[in-house]
């Protein structure tokens, strides 16, 4: 009886002071979309292990999935009130998740964050909505033209194409000399709208015009010149397929096929990001000749500038620990190992071709408008499918896409009256 009483007394004492609960580690659920076969996945896992060693009171539970599956799973989890604590994601989801009220407001936590001054101010501004910071940056995914210099040389091409017409004209020379196609696309993945957005930006096509009150509208139905320029963009897709610039089966490629087939030298050029340096270790022979140039241009030079986010969710029962972990992913130690070529930190700057080649493209970078892009992205992907797989008239598809974007804006409550 005396022992039981003593044990009960100790238990009450610990419970009363909270010491028993403090001894239990907090588990943070972290969703990622890495490729386990690539080195960055191993680097990230080592970084997480390092974080857990530094923070023995925090454990990280990792779930890996594709970006496509992640978006739908996040939407379902948010609706059910059970999102992860921290997650990878795409910048296209920022407006959508903010409007759902799902994202933690990181403004106050970041105000005393020691590493804040190391992050590019424009990057933090890109993740800020109505003056409140709604995500931390993960990496900068600006897109460039990657090309196999040896394949172009075999075709007698001494410099990469500077316009899309030059690329189309080079394609038969490349195929005749190497037996390979000239260009790769990722039409069946989340990357497809990003590639389409680059071409739209190059041809002065605006996805959604800002209006008063934080609302937007697609104006292609009234701006016939802009509709014509969008038609030219979609016509380019059909031209590349009809003239054998892209492989016929490339119409169904995802980003994995796009990246891996380029790394293996199955085609000569691609619009891609600096993460392709990760394939050098896997395929040193076929990646040896890869060089970086600005994307070919239409009316003028432009490229997609992705400020890839790390999302922290408002529903997390451990907001302090979630911010601690998310900000660790932006530490100099972690970024130097995991993102040496595309870090959002000013003090992590690589010196190889991957870092310098993409950094030069920053001035022509363009970002998506801050609208809910979930369904808009899917409609952009469908527009590509309509012209490539169903061979529909580009002008008809352009008009359809403009209507679809306004329908999506209406559903999200963002459509301006005019």
**Does the pLDDT at position 277 exceed 90?**
no
87-98, pLDDT tens digit by residue?
Answer: 999 988 898 899
Q: What is the 3-state secondary structure (H, E, C) of the chain?
A: CHHHHHHHHHHHHHHHHCHHHHHCCEEEEEEECCCCCCHHHHHHHHHHHHHHHHCCCEEEEEEECCHHHHHHHHHHHHHCCCCCCEEECCHHHHHHHHHCCCECCCHHHHHCCCCHHHECHHHHHHCEECCEECCEEEEECCCEEEEEHHHHHHCCCCCCCCEHHHHHHHHHHHHHHHCCEEEECCCCCCHHHHHHHHHHHHCCCCCCEECHHHCEECCCCCCHHHHHHHHHHHHHHHHHHHCCCCCHHHHHCCHHHHHHHHHCCCEEEEEECHHHHHHHHHCHHHHCCEEEECCCECCCCCEECCEEEEEEECCCCCHHHHHHHHHHCCCHHHHHHHCCCCCCECCCCCCCHHHHHHHCCHHHEECCCCCCCHHHHHHHHHHHHHHHCCCCCHHHHHHHHHHHHHHHHHHCCCECCC
Cβ neighbours of residue 164 under 8 Å, at least 6 residues apart?
Answer: 236, 296, 297, 298
pLDDT tier for residue 119 given thresholds of 50, 70 and 90:
very high
User: Is there a common fold for 26-142+306-366 and 144-304+369-412?
Assistant: yes
Classify domain 144-304+369-412 by CATH architecture: 3-Layer(aba) Sandwich (3.40)
Residue 45 burial class via C-beta count within 10 angstroms: exposed 0-12, middle 13-18, buried 19 and up: middle
> Are the beta carbons of 280 and 287 closer than 8 angstroms?
yes
Domain ranges of the chain: 26-142+306-366, 144-304+369-412
Higher pLDDT, 217 or 373: 217
Confidence of residue 13 (pLDDT cuts 50, 70, 90): very low
What residues contact residue 374 under an 8 Å CB cut-off, 6+ apart?
71, 75, 92, 93, 96
pLDDT attached to residue 82: 96
Q: What is the pLDDT of residues 349-364, one digit of tens each?
A: 888 888 889 888 988 9
Residue 18 has pLDDT above 60, yes or no: no
pLDDT at 156 over 50: yes
Region 269-276: mean pLDDT is 93
Taking only the tens place, the pLDDT of each residue in 243-255 is: 999 999 887 888 8
How many angstroms separate the CA atoms of 230 and 403, rounded?
Answer: 13
Residue 251: the pLDDT is: 79
Assess if CATH 3.50.50.60 describes domain 26-142+306-366: no
Higher pLDDT, 416 or 37: 416
Lowest mean pLDDT, pick from 45-59, 96-110, 250-264, 317-331? 250-264
**pTM reported for the whole predicted model:** 0.79
């Amino acid at each position: 009886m005396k022992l039981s009483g003593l044990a009960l007394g100790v238990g009450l004492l610990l419970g009363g002071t909270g010491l028993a609960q403090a001894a239990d580690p907090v588990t943070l659920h972290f969703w990622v979309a890495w490729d386990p076969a690539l080195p960055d996945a191993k680097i990230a896992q080592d970084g997480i292990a390092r974080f857990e060693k530094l923070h023995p009171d925090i454990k990280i539970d990792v779930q890996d999935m594709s970006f496509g599956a992640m978006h739908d799973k996040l939407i379902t989890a948010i609706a059910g009130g059970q999102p992860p604590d921290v997650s990878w994601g795409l910048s296209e989801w920022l407006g959508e998740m903010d409007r759902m009220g799902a994202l933690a407001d990181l403004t106050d936590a970041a105000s005393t964050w020691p590493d804040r001054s190391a992050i590019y101010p424009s990057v933090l501004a890109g993740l800020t909505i109505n003056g409140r910071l709604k995500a931390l940056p993960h990496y900068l995914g600006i897109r460039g033209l990657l090309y196999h210099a040896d394949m172009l040389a075999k075709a007698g091409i001494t410099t990469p194409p500077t316009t899309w017409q030059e690329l189309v004209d080079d394609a038969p020379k490349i195929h005749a000399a190497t037996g390979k196609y000239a260009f790769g696309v990722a039409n069946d993945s989340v990357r497809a709208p990003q590639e389409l957005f680059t071409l739209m930006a190059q041809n002065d096509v605006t996805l959604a015009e800002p209006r008063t009150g934080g609302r937007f509208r697609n104006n292609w139905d009234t701006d016939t010149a802009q509709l014509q320029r969008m038609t030219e963009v979609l016509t380019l897709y059909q031209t590349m397929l009809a003239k054998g610039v892209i492989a016929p089966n490339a119409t169904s490629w995802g980003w994995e096929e796009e990246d891996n087939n380029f790394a293996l030298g199955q085609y000569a050029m691609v619009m891609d990001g600096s993460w392709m340096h990760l394939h050098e270790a896997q395929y040193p022979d076929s990646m040896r000749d890869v060089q970086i140039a600005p994307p070919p241009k239409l009316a003028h030079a432009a490229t997609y500038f992705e400020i890839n986010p790390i999302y922290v969710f408002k529903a997390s029962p451990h907001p302090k620990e979630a911010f601690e972990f998310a900000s660790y992913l932006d530490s100099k130690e972690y970024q130097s190992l995991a993102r040496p070529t595309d870090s959002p930190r000013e003090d992590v700057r690589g010196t190889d071709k991957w870092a310098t080649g993409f950094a030069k493209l920053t001035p022509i970078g363009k970002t998506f408008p801050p609208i809910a892009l979930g369904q808009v992205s899917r409609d952009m992907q469908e527009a590509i499918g309509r012209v490539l797989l169903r061979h529909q008239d580009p002008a008809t598809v352009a008009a359809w896409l403009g209507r679809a974007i306004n329908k999506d804006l209406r559903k999200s409550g963002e459509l301006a009256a005019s």
